[in-house]
Amino acid sequence: MNQRRFVVGLTTVFGLFAVSAGCGSRIPGIDPNVYVVEHTDYNPPKPINEELTDDKLEDKQTSFFPDVVDRRPLEEWLVNQSEAVIRLDVPLIKPDHDQQLLVLHPSYAAAASAIQVLPSVNLIDGKAKQFDDGLYAAIDLALFQGVADGRFGHITLVKRLLAAVESKGPSAAYLAAGLTLGGVETHVANDSERLTLIRKFEANPALSKPIGFYTWNDSLKRCWQFMRYFQEPLDETNPVVANLVKAIQADPTLAADCQQASQFFAKLTNPLSRLTVPDLIGVDLTSKTALAELRARRGVKEDNRGASLFPASTSRETELFNKLFPLGIPAGTDLMKTLIRRIRSGEVDLTPRESSGWYDHQVYALETMLLPERGEEQNKLLLTKPYKNRMLEAFQALITKRRETHVRQLESAGAKSAAPPRRLETISPRLRIEPCPSFYLRTARSYSFLQTFLLASLGEETLKQLHGLRQEGDRPDDLLIKLAAQRDLFYGLYLVSCDDIGHTVALKPEELPEPDRCYEAALAWLNHVAERTDRDLAQDTRVAVPIYVDRFRQTTRLWVTLGVRLTRLEASYVRPPRIKPANGTGDWEVVQSHMLKGSDYLIAVDEFAEVEIPTLTPPTREELREICDTHKTKEKIIQALSVWKP
């Protein structure tokens, strides 16, 4: 926004207009017949992607289906939006008039505390984020400590390995160091080497410092350090590796349990980025050819050499950045924009692969934010360039939050004839949530994938014993109940969104046996949002996640969500709906253009930034939030982060 001052003479150019409009002022010490007129220029923010353009109505192919009727009658009329097209736009924020829309808040509840908002994809994803964190924390901790039904526990596995290796061999100190980090003080013959390994690990804060929800309690902190320690790859020629392979080769049950423990995270998060120790059984560890062939069979990138006891998981963005920037990030490079460009160009395909884990399924739900033409609703919505840019901003924040959940594991809707109803005077879109049906459906399917995997791997009884976590303790219902409820909520949001825009529901056969129950569950949750009674939405949303660590320059590139702010969303028909009396009489009539009216909403959105910090130590949630609370605005927060050190 720029303000320009013009000097205008009353006796010459439109002086009386300036005075009567109240936009002029005299300059002290200058001719009283001279006024200053202030003119404000509003400059739209630079778009994330310059190639974005407004959709064209002629490209939207819709048809009339008489059975696609909104479940909500409008007064005494039924509404059919099957051939309607709704235009979505985000108007320019004017800082001198819209100061309240520039304020950053720590949570969605805080942003909406004084005004009713339309639930945005950000807000709805904020609900999912709290559930996801609690579920992942509960499962990671349960597997670390050992779940109640006697299945493998990571601490127990490493104890068994320590008992199986030579007490004075090279792997004893390696295993004992990990146990010590996990809270089990363990001494071995070569105790000085154990202490050396611990000091070396702790000296690398990019690896050792717990972040995300792992700062909630001491048990999660120990889980972080234990698992991160054993994620670090060891060269296949390292004597520690040969010693471990020898021990588990002699005990097939131990080998199978170690492999099961590692491969669990290949589905809970994503495929493993490196070989596991059990992968190396029967392999010539001195043969580069044999190891390369093994990596190829296991789907491991050739450059990802080495093996881990519990390897980290890969992701599309990690694979891309490792490919593009093996020697460091060139000056001026924006990793998020690079990722977005490669997804939009087709070079990076987010479609889950056969080997994909939950994280890939979660990120796939975001695809239509970048490529709206791939959404099943694409013919129903006409998106302006500013709205497309808003969805790109949403993608940035949501993928950041998904990564932060997985941060430890990821490598960085007839009566008889009666009197006719009163005529409608106007009709406008009636949105209950931001219309992104594909996002809601794909998210529901990601939870369905996770549910199937956890039932097969942990079993129903184990899930009944586990509870999702919050920082202050357990959530009330067990994971079996809550996971099914979370899946059904997003199926319900999909149905609500389809109803809102008149989109034909496109579910797989037998995918949703009880759609009405899911629909009602979504409406019940939306009531909680409106009444501000969902405690998940009051949780602080501000997170930072490392995406690229440059050990040579001693810098870390972060993706950061700085807070929640409000913005406007405008919805209007550019192709009209049809209506007919709710009593069942008459035919469907196209709504005349003079009756069409737009709808204006406020939605809560996340503020994203990519920042480079001059340290290898990433900030915890608490440290980031202290910076945000101190510096308030996006520009000042970014400036503070760019020089931050612990």
Residues 549 and 580 in one domain: yes
Residues 241 and 271 in one domain: yes
What is the per-residue pLDDT for 420?
60
Whether 1 has a pLDDT exceeding 90, the answer reads no
Whether 257 has a pLDDT exceeding 70, the answer reads yes
Calculate mean pLDDT across residues 321-326: 84
Look at residue 330 and tell me if it is in a domain: no
Look at residue 585 and tell me if it is in a domain: yes
Calculate mean pLDDT across residues 345-368: 93
Strands in 244-363 per DSSP E: 275-276, 307-308
What is the per-residue pLDDT for 266?
93
C-alpha distances (whole Å) from 387 to each of 375, 428, 513, 569 are 15, 19, 35, 8
Query: How many whole angstroms separate alpha carbon 394 and alpha carbon 366?
Result: 9
Residues 126 and 171 in one domain: no
Calculate mean pLDDT across residues 398-421: 74
Query: How confident is the model over 498-529, as pLDDT tens digits?
Result: 999 999 998 988 898 899 999 999 999 998 98
H/E element, 566: strand 555-575
What is the per-residue pLDDT for 96?
61
Instruction: Check residues 97 and 393 and name the one with the higher pLDDT.
Output: 393
Report helix, strand or coil for 117: coil
Token pair for 227: 């698992």
Calculate mean pLDDT across residues 553-580: 90
Calculate mean pLDDT across residues 559-570: 90
Total tally of structural domains belonging to the chain? 4
491-511 burial code (b ≥16 CB/10 A, e <16): bbbbbbbbbbbbbeeeeeeee
Domain that residue 307 falls in: 152-313
Place of tokens 């014993």: 465
What is the per-residue pLDDT for 568?
86
What is the per-residue pLDDT for 7?
44
Residues 192 and 308 in one domain: yes
Give the whole-number percent of the chain exceeding pLDDT 90: 49
Whether 27 has a pLDDT exceeding 60, the answer reads no
Whether 286 has a pLDDT exceeding 90, the answer reads no
The answer to whether 161 touches 258, Cβ cutoff 8 Å, is yes
What is the per-residue pLDDT for 34?
52
Token pair for 496: 């609500």
Query: How many whole angstroms separate alpha carbon 442 and alpha carbon 365?
Result: 5
pLDDT confidence band for 565 (50 / 70 / 90): confident
Look at residue 49 and tell me if it is in a domain: no
pLDDT confidence band for 414 (50 / 70 / 90): very low
Whether 458 has a pLDDT exceeding 60, the answer reads yes
Residues 276 and 186 in one domain: yes
The C-alpha angle with vertex 69 and arms to 63 and 72, in degrees rounded to 5, equals 145
Least confident stretch, 101-115, 227-241, 246-260: 101-115
pLDDT confidence band for 482 (50 / 70 / 90): very high
Calculate mean pLDDT across residues 55-71: 90
What is the per-residue pLDDT for 446?
95
Whether 19 has a pLDDT exceeding 60, the answer reads no
The answer to whether 272 touches 262, Cβ cutoff 8 Å, is yes
Compute the chain's Rg from CA coordinates.
Answer: 29
Among 476, 478, 451, 450, smallest CA distance to 464 is for 478
Whether 349 has a pLDDT exceeding 90, the answer reads yes
Residues 502 and 563 in one domain: no
What is the per-residue pLDDT for 315?
92
Calculate mean pLDDT across residues 15-19: 33
Whether 429 has a pLDDT exceeding 80, the answer reads yes
Residues 357 and 497 in one domain: yes
What is the per-residue pLDDT for 356?
93
Query: How confident is the model over 172-194, as pLDDT tens digits?
Result: 999 999 999 999 988 888 888 99
What is the per-residue pLDDT for 499?
94
Strands in 224-309 per DSSP E: 275-276, 307-308
Residues 126 and 174 in one domain: no
On the CB side of 202, CA atoms within 13 Å amount to 13
Query: How confident is the model over 625-635, as pLDDT tens digits?
Result: 999 999 988 99
Token pair for 192: 């000085």
Domain boundary among 510, 538, 566: 538
- pTM for this entry: 0.82
Residues 287 and 168 in one domain: yes
Query: How many whole angstroms separate alpha carbon 481 and alpha carbon 103?
Result: 37
Look at residue 194 and tell me if it is in a domain: yes
Look at residue 59 and tell me if it is in a domain: no
Look at residue 50 and tell me if it is in a domain: no
Calculate mean pLDDT across residues 552-574: 90
What is the per-residue pLDDT for 33?
55
Look at residue 70 and tell me if it is in a domain: no
Residues 362 and 464 in one domain: yes
Give the whole-number percent of the chain exceeding pLDDT 70: 89
Residues 181 and 83 in one domain: no
For the chain, the average pLDDT equals: 85
What is the per-residue pLDDT for 346?
92
pLDDT confidence band for 199 (50 / 70 / 90): very high
Residues 162 and 294 in one domain: yes
Look at residue 473 and tell me if it is in a domain: yes
Least confident stretch, 35-49, 402-416, 515-529, 583-597: 35-49
